[in-house]
Chain A
Amino acid sequence: MGFLNNFINGISLGSIYSVIALGYTMVYGIAKMLNFAHGDVIMVGAYIVFVLTTGAGMNPYLALLISMVACTLLGMTIERFAYRPLRGASPLAVLITAIGVSYFLQNVALLIFGTQVKSFKSILEFPSIKLAGGKIIISDETIITIVVSLIIMIGLTLFVNKTKPGRAMLAVSEDRGAAQLMGVNVNATIALTFAIGSGLAAVAGVLLCSTYPALSSQTGAMPGIKAFVAAVLGGIGSIPGALIGGLAIGVVEILSKTYISSQLADAIVFAILIIVLLVKPTGILGKKYIEKV
């Protein structure tokens, strides 16, 4: 019974990592860059919902919608002003810029909202499911997060494979230069990718803070990095891989907290990253591209 409860806790945490990892993997798969600011866009999204609901008393779902729009715009702005000028630069320069953007967002949040942690009120108010006479409790947040991550995964897969802008994304990811020659607007396609990824970040932020309600400028940082590990584990660039990787990391983290040590859990999660990079660098579902000369 204890194991089952811990497993459920792991799935709950993992499904949040999945939603975040989907955003990572989208951007990496298409723009071929690691957007380390993704975790902080999540934090911004959660703050917007917090201010609108707790501060202005707005309907939480309307607040989520506004937050998604705001994060979409934020993502496109970051892409336009921080990443696009570096399109031709080395991947390292872009990576460092992303870390800079991440710190920038954290410090702006610190300036506006201060250091005091805010308690985020869950926007989901459904009853929890109780099994085995109340011994096993599955919270509404867990169920909703799993459902949402599945919907996002299926939605993204369909979008990428079936629609015209989606296929443009595939083309850009396959070969940017050739896609441009074939008339695909590369800049617009990458901007669209950031828009979708950042809109999803708002959803992830709300799910994250509904489950773990302490909201501060650091909220997105650690989950963001763990989700990155999840994306690598699942095969970065692969949409179903993000889902699988997220769930796996969540379960591993909770089980190692329970059965090994609550202090070593993070170390174990990052050890997985190292092992994956050594043994199977493409991850569980990652594709191996053969470099054609």
Chain B
Amino acid sequence: MKKSMRKILAAVLALTLIVGLFAACGSKEDSGTQTGAETIKIGAIGPLTGGAAVYGNAVKNGAQLAVDEINKAGGINGMKIEFRMEDDEHDAEKSVNAYNTLKDWGMQMLMGTVTTQPCLAVINNTKADNMYQLTPSASGADVIVNDNTFQVCFTDPNQGIASADYIADNGIARKVAVIYNSSDAYSSGIYNTFKSEAAAKGLEIVATEAFTEDSKTDFSAQLTKVKSSGAELLFLPIYADAASSLLSQASKLGLNVKYFGCDGLDGILDIEGFDGKLAENVMLLTPFAANATDETTQKFVSAFKAAGYEESTLNQFAADAYDAIYIMKAAAEKSGVKAGMSVSEIGDAMKGVMPQITVDGVTGSGMKWLSTGEVSKTPKAVKIVNGEYQAME
């Protein structure tokens, strides 16, 4: 009796599965015919809930703003954009699920993912489908190993090059000291590229000091060496938690140098109990500052506020996503993407023109791409003045 019940149950389950499969196929075909209408479907993936939600929501708002602007102005090649974002909770597996959901919906291009770890999982799927993929903010170097994936943000190691360029080109300092975390890929990756670019740009590295994850509180020995090296600037490709302790000890040691960091320092002012005065005049490389005076930024900021999005999401992620949509528009127009084209045809067309286009965006003017997917743009930096991020001109 029991056994036969189980068999029936299994049969019913199998049937539902089969029906479900057909239903899924059906809906896929449906969406396929829908794209025949004058729309283009852009999907996005990022963490909308969970610990990294602030990044995903910023991307969502920035992208939605760009989509609304473009649709109002007539769309891409006359096609209206349909935009949909799926949550991945900053989890690789959920990100792949989100990708499949979006494909069922009929996505033709992917703007995402927002964070590096999930992105590394999704690139395999986009590669298999030859889906054009543009990530606004996943900065890992391995994100762009495939030819169909492009970045809006700098790759982590490229921040080292950009920092050295910025310091040298703006004449901020000649003699530079570095303190980096040798047990961390982000930090040592930036240090290595910084070192070679600094040499090429004629910066003199007078002291190189390292620390490890286990000893990231006591910097007295390293700072004493920096002090006696005669450095004018201390380059800190490290995260804000270690930097907060370092800056406090440097002030006690009477170290009088300029400080320059990368996006890892972003958020140092938000550390609980941190005395903001210690970070005064610290410079850091970041693609976006809300109070920059250039026209593009001002236009973006006022449109963002006027649209009523939470101001807490007005950050570099929103700016990256806003640019990403406009970059997709530029590439689609250049390559003549039409609504009826398949995902793979769009992918081929888009990746063919990416090395040819130049886009002026919020996160940089004159953005260009290598066929490897890396972006090339003028780095921007901010300085902490009176406890606020001030754009450096």
Taking Cβ atoms with an 8 Å cutoff, the residues of A that contact B are 2, 5-6, 9, 12-13, 50, 54, 116-121, 128, 134, 137, 139, 141, 212-216, 219, 222, 254, 257-258, 262-263, 265-266
Q: Could you tell me the distance between the alpha carbons of A50 and B216 in the complex, rounded to whole angstroms?
A: 19
Chain B residue contacts of A215, Cβ below 8 A: 273
Beyond A121-B275, A212-B218, A257-B221, 11 extra complex contacts between A and B, CB < 8 Å = A9-B220, A13-B220, A119-B274, A120-B273, A212-B245, A214-B216, A214-B241, A258-B225, A262-B222, A263-B211, A266-B215
Contact check, A213 vs B272: say whether CB atoms are below 8 A apart: no
- Chain A binding surface SS class: mixed
Interchain Cβ contacts under 8 Å between A and B, 23 examples: A9-B221, A116-B241, A116-B271, A117-B241, A117-B244, A117-B245, A118-B272, A119-B272, A119-B273, A119-B274, A119-B275, A128-B252, A212-B218, A214-B217, A214-B244, A215-B273, A254-B220, A258-B221, A262-B210, A262-B221, A263-B182, A265-B221, A266-B214
B104 CB contacts on chain A under 8 angstroms: none
Chain B hits for A263, CB < 8 A:
182, 210-212
Contact B272 A54 (CB under 8 A): yes
A121-B210 in contact (CB<8A) = no
Residue of B209, B222, B245 with most partner-chain A CB within 10 A: B245
What is the CA–CA distance of A213 and B210 in the complex, to the nearest angstrom?
Answer: 19
Residues of chain B within 8 A of A137, CB atoms compared = 252-254
Residues of B24-80 whose CB lies within 8 A of A: none
Alpha-carbon distance between A12 and B216 when the two chains are bound, in angstroms:
16
B228 on interface, CB distance cutoff 8 Å: yes
CA of A119 to CA of B267 in the docked complex: distance in angstroms? 13
> Chain A residue with minimal CB distance to B223?
A9
CB of B248 closer than 8 Å to a CB of A: yes
**Contacts A214-B242, A262-B222, A263-B182; A219 near B217 (Cβ below 8 A):** yes
In the complex, what's the smallest C-beta–C-beta distance from A206 to chain B, in angstroms? 14
Which chain A residue lies CB-closest to B244?
Answer: A119
B252/A139 in contact, CB under 8 A = yes
A2, A54, A117: which contacts B224 (Cβ < 8 A)? A2
Determine which of A5, A121, A128, A212 lies in contact with B273 in the assembled complex, contact meaning CB atoms within 8 Å. Answer: A121
B220 contacts across to A, CB distance below 8 A? 9, 12-13, 254
Contact between A119 and B224, CB atoms less than 8 A apart: no
How near does chain B come to A132, taking the closest CB pair, in angstroms?
13
- Is residue B371 within 8 Å, beta carbon to beta carbon, of the partner chain? no
**Contact flag A119-B215 (CB < 8 Å), given A9-B220, A128-B252, A254-B221:** no
Does B249 have its Cβ within 8 Å of any Cβ on chain A?
yes
Q: Once bound together, how far apart are the Cα atoms of A6 and B218, in whole Å?
A: 13
A212 touches B217 (CB 8 A): yes
B272 touches A262 (CB 8 A): no
Q: Which chain A residues border B273 with CB–CB below 8 Å?
A: 50, 54, 118-121, 213, 215
CA A285 to CA B217, docked complex, whole Å: 30
For the complex of A and B, 3 pairs with smallest distance between CB atoms: A117-B241, A257-B221, A119-B274
**B248/A213 in contact, CB under 8 A:** yes
* Contact for B212 among A6, A118, A128, A266, CB less than 8 A: A266
> Chain B residues with Cβ under 8 A from A212's Cβ?
217-218, 245, 249
Contact B241 A216 (CB under 8 A): yes
Min CB distance, B257 to chain A, in Å?
Answer: 16
Nearest residue (CB) in A for B246 is A214
Contact A2 B228 (CB under 8 A): yes
- Cα distance A139–B228 when bound, in Å? 18
- A101 to chain B: closest CB distance in Å? 21
For residue B245, which residues in chain A have a CB less than 8 angstroms away from its CB? Answer: 117, 119, 212-214
Residues B214 and A213 in contact, CB atoms below 8 Å apart: no
Most buried by B among A119, A120, A141: A119
| Complex: A43 Cα to B357 Cα, angstroms | 54
Interchain CA distance A13-B224 in the complex, whole Å: 14
- Residues of chain B lying within 8 A (CB to CB) of residue A50: 273
Chain A residues near B215 (CB-CB < 8 A): 222, 265-266
Which of chain B's residues have a CB closer than 8 A to the CB of A141? Answer: 252
How far in angstroms is the closest Cβ of chain A from B17? Answer: 41
A79 vs B273: C-alpha distance when bound (angstroms): 33
From known contacts A54-B273, A137-B252, infer whether A222 and B214 are also in contact, taking CB-CB under 8 Å: yes
Q: Looking at the assembled complex, report how far the CB atom of A279 sits from the nearest CB atom of chain B, in whole angstroms.
A: 26
CB–CB B224/A5 < 8 A: yes
A25–B242 Cα distance when bound, in Å, is: 31
